């Protein structure tokens, strides 16, 4: 029996994401590097009470449509860009561990609305501690100390200890049930490469969960990925799903 | 009465005068990012973007040349450049937290006379966003805050104590505003440059913390 981590559909890939699960959501905030089809499949399944980690609180469907129009002359948004905001809008999210939960300026993410209604909980972190806490989970490290955040809301209620006269805050690893990530190419062993700034939180989150799901543009034969250039070794990846060639709406099966 | 205030592009030009050959520089959202357009020709400054990119080129102005897989941390398309490289998020912040960033330029809502920085939560919002700014404010070798000297409703932004939620304590080294350049020193704020047309007394009157005047106080130049 040959190893084959490629799963036939997004619906199948997310079928065991249950109520109350903790999810790392890859991407950064741009329209390219987001695991849109994995997010859409979870939104169709509609689990409740999820804890999510990621950079952005998420725009949601309506704001992405507005941005697509507004930024058309600057940055083309793909038709099939769906972000964490969709999961918030579908009522799936109970807690966010996020670095960018508040939209810029006067805009408001769906998650902010939820917070204001008292229907969600936020743990605000800088991107560095967020990324390192996720990396720590991948590496089996329970917790680490960093000076970043001491004296601010990011360190509230956390242990403080001095090293070399500088106060550090103890940050615990964030291990999720599932990591939802976007990559460029995979092979059937789950080796991954990324494209440009698409690496970002996606490569960070690979392996930081019980199950890592990678949404990719293409699966290539074993040996086609240059072993010198594999970014995420397949040992960190449990499932690979290929994006459809033609864009689909989030509520269509994929 | 007082002179003109600098517009955003002029503030970005002044910020760019901080750059030196070989520096690794991270630019925050807004005016800081504009400064990348004013790196002097021939000077090699390596830009770091916290979403995982070093050594990229200028902003791309039109959608036809924009690549959604080549964006900066403000989600603006940038151009490729020989020598650039990509990396994961934890690597990006290892660079920041490991002290490799020579200068970061950040937007600010308030800066206190001891260098305390408040820039992540707007008044009236239910929460704020640290993004990558907190790490940069804590860890970059030099932290430059760039902002208008006063709020839109004419309240001071340079203050004795910040009133908005704190991003990083004692973080800011230099403040560039639309009328002045002010350094944070152990002895308090030091007025180093003024925009021509403004007097130190006029600048002090718009600043809610005491300013000392540098012995070599100079008019601000942009290039």
CATH superfamily of the B8-219 domain: Glutaconate Coenzyme A-transferase (3.40.1080.10)
Per the DSSP assignment, residues forming a β-bridge with A162 are A167
A14 inside domain? no
pLDDT at A29: 95
Q: What radius of gyration, in Å, describes the C-alpha atoms of chain A?
A: 18
The answer to whether the CB atoms of A74 and B76 lie below 8 A apart is: yes
Residues lower than pLDDT 70 in chain A: none
Q: Which residues of A touch B49 (CB under 8 A)?
A: 197
Contacts of A102 (CB under 8 A, 6+ apart): A57, A108, A109, A112, B121, B122, B125, B126, B127, B128, B129
Residue B164 CA, distance from chain mean position: 18
Please tell me which of the candidates B77, B121, B166 has its beta carbon nearest to residue A74.
B77
Testing the interface with A: which of B93, B168, B170 to mutate, by most A Cβ within 10 A? Answer: B93
| pLDDT (tens digit per residue) in B152-179 | 999 999 999 999 999 999 999 999 999 9
Q: Chain A residues with CB inside 8 Å of B122's CB?
A: 102, 105
Query: What are B135-158's pLDDT values in tens digits?
Result: 999 999 999 999 999 999 999 999
A113: left (phi over 0), alpha (psi -120 to 50) or beta: alpha
Residues 6+ apart with CB under 8 A from A16: A211
- Smallest Cβ distance to A127: which of B61, B93, B166? B93
Task: Examine residue A182 and state whether it is found in any structural domain, yes or no.
Answer: yes
**Residues B66, A200: C-beta atoms closer than 8 Å:** no
What range defines the domain where residue A196 resides? 24-141+175-242
A228: CATH:
3.40.1080.10
Taking CB atoms and an 8 Å limit, are A149 and B66 in contact across chains?
Answer: no
Q: Is B8 a catalytic residue?
A: no
Model ipTM over 0.90: yes
Distance of CA A115 to the CA centre of its chain: 20
Q: From edge to edge, which strands make up the β-sheet containing B158-159?
A: B117-118, B110-112, B158-159
Whether A75 and B132 lie within 8 Å, measured CB to CB:
no
Smallest Cβ–Cβ distance between B129 and the set A99, A128, A150 belongs to A99
CB atoms A128 and B135 under 8 Å? yes
CA separation for the pair A129, A208 (Å, rounded): 14
Read off the pLDDT of each residue in B52-73 and give the average, rounded to a whole number.
Answer: 94
- The 3-class SS string of chain A reads CCCCCECCCHHHHCCCCCCCCEEEECCCCCCCCCCHHHHHHHHHHCCCCEEEEEEECCCCHHHHHHHHHHCCCCCCCCCCCCCHHHHHHCCCEEEEEEEECCCCCCCCCHHHHHHHCCCCEEEECCHHHHHHHHHHHHHCCCEEEECCCCCCHHHCCCCEEEECCEEEEEEECCCEEEEEEECCEECCCCCEECCHHHCHHHHHHCCCEEEEEEEECEECCCCCCCCCCCCECHHHCCEEEECCCCCCCCCCCC
A247 found inside a domain: no
Average pLDDT, whole number, for chain B?
96
Average pLDDT over residues B39-58: 94
User: In this complex, which of B75, B93, B126 lies closest to A112 when CB atoms are compared?
Assistant: B126
Residue A78 touches partner B, C-beta closer than 8 Å: yes
Q: Is A144 on the interface with B (CB under 8 A)?
A: no
Does residue A77 sit within a domain? yes
Cα distance between residue A83 and residue B135, in whole Å: 25
pLDDT in tens, A79-113: 999 999 999 999 999 999 999 999 988 899 999 99
Distance (Å, whole) CA A157 – CA B144: 30
Q: What is the pLDDT of residue A40?
A: 98
How much is the pLDDT for B1?
A: 56
Q: Residue B189 — very low, low, confident or very high, per pLDDT cuts 50/70/90?
A: very high
Are residues A75 and B76, on separate chains, in Cβ contact within 8 Å?
A: yes
Phi and psi of A180, rounded to 5°? -105, 110
Average pLDDT over residues B61-76: 94
Residue environment code for A60-84, b if the CB has 16+ CB neighbours within 10 A, otherwise e: bbebbeebbeebeeebbbeebbbbb
Write out the H or E segment, with its range, that includes residue B95.
Answer: helix B89-97
Domain count, chain A: 1
Q: What is the mean pLDDT of residues B129-133?
A: 96
Q: Which residues of A touch B81 (CB under 8 A)?
A: none
Measured distance CA(B105)–CA(B100) in Å, rounded: 14
pLDDT given for residue B223 in this prediction: 78
Judged by a CB distance cut-off of 8 A, whether residue A25 touches chain B is no
């Amino acid at each position: 029996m040959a190893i084959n981590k490629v799963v036939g559909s997004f619906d199948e890939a997310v079928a065991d994401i249950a109520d109350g699960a903790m999810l790392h959501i890859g991407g950064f905030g741009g329209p390219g590097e987001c695991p849109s089809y994995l997010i859409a499949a979870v939104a169709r399944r509609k689990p409740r009470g999820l804890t999510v980690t990621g950079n952005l609180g998420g725009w949601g469907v309506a704001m992405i449509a507005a941005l697509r129009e507004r930024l058309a002359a600057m940055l083309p948004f793909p038709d099939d860009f769906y972000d964490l905001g969709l999961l918030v809008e579908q009522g799936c999210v109970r807690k966010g561990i996020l670095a960018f939960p508040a939209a810029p300026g006067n805009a408001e993410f769906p998650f902010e609305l939820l917070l204001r209604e008292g229907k969600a909980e936020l743990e605000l972190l800088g991107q560095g501690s967020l990324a390192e806490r996720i990396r720590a989970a991948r590496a089996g490290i329970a917790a680490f100390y960093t000076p970043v955040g001491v004296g601010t809301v990011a360190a509230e209620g956390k242990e403080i200890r001095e090293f070399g006269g500088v106060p550090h805050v103890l940050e615990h690893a964030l291990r999720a049930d599932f990591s939802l990530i976007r990559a460029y190419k995979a092979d059937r062993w789950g080796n991954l490469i990324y494209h440009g700034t698409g690496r970002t939180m996606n490569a960070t989150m690979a392996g930081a969960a019980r199950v890592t799901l990678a949404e990719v543009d293409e699966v290539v034969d074993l040996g086609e990925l240059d072993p010198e250039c594999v970014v995420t070794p397949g040992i960190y990846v449990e499932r690979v799903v290929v994006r459809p060639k033609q864009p689909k709406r989030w509520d269509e099966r994929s | 009465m007082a002179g003109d205030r600098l517009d955003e592009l002029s503030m970005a030009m002044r910020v760019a005068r901080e750059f030196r050959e070989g520096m690794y520089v991270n630019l925050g959202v807004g005016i800081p990012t504009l400064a990348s357009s004013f790196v002097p020709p021939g000077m090699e400054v390596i830009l770091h973007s916290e979403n995982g990119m070093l050594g990229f080129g200028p902003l791309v102005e039109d959608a036809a040349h924009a690549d959604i897989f080549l964006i900066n941390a403000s989600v603006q398309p940038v151009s490729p450049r020989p020598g650039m490289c990509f990396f994961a998020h934890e690597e990006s912040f290892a660079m920041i937290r490991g002290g490799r960033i020579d200068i970061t330029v950040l937007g600010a809502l308030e800066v206190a006379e001891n260098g305390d920085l408040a820039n992540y939560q707007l008044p009236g919002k239910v929460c704020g966003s640290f993004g990558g700014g907190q790490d940069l404010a804590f860890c970059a070798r030099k932290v430059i805050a760039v902002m208008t000297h006063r709020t839109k409703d004419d309240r001071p932004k340079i203050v004795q104590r910040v009133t908005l939620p704190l991003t990083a304590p004692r973080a800011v080294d230099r403040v560039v505003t639309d009328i002045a350049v002010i350094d944070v020193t152990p002895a308090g704020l030091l007025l180093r440059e003024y925009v021509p047309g403004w007097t130190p007394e006029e600048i002090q009157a718009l600043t809610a913390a005491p300013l000392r005047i540098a012995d070599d106080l100079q008019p601000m130049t942009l290039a």
